[in-house]
Amino acid sequence: MFSFALLSGVAFSDLDSALSQILARRPAITDLKNELKELVSFIDFTSLEGSDNHEKIRQLCKKAILFGEKGLPYPATVCIFPPFIATAKQVLHGTPIRIATVAASFPSGQQPLSVKLAEIGYALQEGADEIEVVISRGTFLEKNYPTVYRELDAMRELTYGKSLKVILETDELQTPENIAKACEIAIETGADFIKTSTGKIIPSATEEDVFVILQVIREHYRRTGKKIGIKAEEGIADPEKALNYYWLVKEVLGDDWLKPDLFRIGANRLADRIVEIVSTD
């Protein structure tokens, strides 16, 4: 275990200054056109709304496929509720696009562990490639860390062989210290990805939140040699903001993390904006 008061030489009190220095080195969007196109390959093309239905998910999947047909990369996944996994599998068959789903009482995390595991089991049975689970922020804020650990450990055991993303909901964790501690608990229980947020809280994740998580991931890599992925989620539509996340990953973790196996963005409108920008070249 490392100290949460200081991560890789960056004190939490100095985070804003360190973050500003890194982002100040980011080239202008006009000099990052190739990187902008590459961002499409990091997108989890998502629909997680109460109005979702089978036809809506079919259209979502067809739209995801179109990006590849337009000469852009395919999105990494479509991310949907578990009842639509079979529908997505039918539409996406023969493409490289994977299927991600949310489980474990998304977005609140406020259900007994048995219910959370049953949701995960259903998603696995339906054929999901990636499972996104969310911690109970209430349990964490009570400082009941053993329960948070035990629940994530049980989820990891059930999802063995599948990619597991653990959602922290950073805005509700309130402090950088809490974000760092929740991140480490998730990593220690075997998370493949740390995801900032559910996208259901306003405001959602920030560059500061991502920067804290990147510090923890880097420290873990230095200690163990194991790479953990990061997913920024806030319904990102602004290419400038998405490029900020790209640049932070590049600067803190290096180019090895700039691939879909280790970096994701939760966004739909972003892909449309990228098409608009690159089509004007």
Domains in the chain (CATH in brackets) are 6-278 (3.20.20.70)
- Report which of residues 202 and 176 the model is more confident about: 176
Residue 63 contacts residue 95 (beta carbons within 8 Å): no
Judged by average pLDDT, the poorest of 33-37, 74-78, 273-277 is 273-277
> What average pLDDT score do residues 63-89 get?
95
User: What pLDDT band is residue 234 in, cutting at 50, 70 and 90?
Assistant: low
- Encode pLDDT of 110-123 as tens digits: 999 999 999 999 99
Q: How far is CA 245 from CA 26, 54, 170, 183, 273, in A?
A: 10, 32, 15, 18, 16
In this predicted structure, the answer to whether residue 53 has a pLDDT above a threshold of 90 is: yes
pLDDT at res. 273? 85
User: What pLDDT band is residue 281 in, cutting at 50, 70 and 90?
Assistant: low
In this predicted structure, the answer to whether residue 237 has a pLDDT above a threshold of 80 is: no
* Neighbouring residues of 227: CB distance < 8 A, sequence distance ≥ 6: 217, 221, 256, 257, 262
- Encode pLDDT of 242-255 as tens digits: 999 999 999 999 99
Residue 254 contacts residue 47 (beta carbons within 8 Å): no
Alpha-carbon distance of 42 to 26, in angstroms, equals 19
Alpha-carbon distance of 48 to 50, in angstroms, equals 7
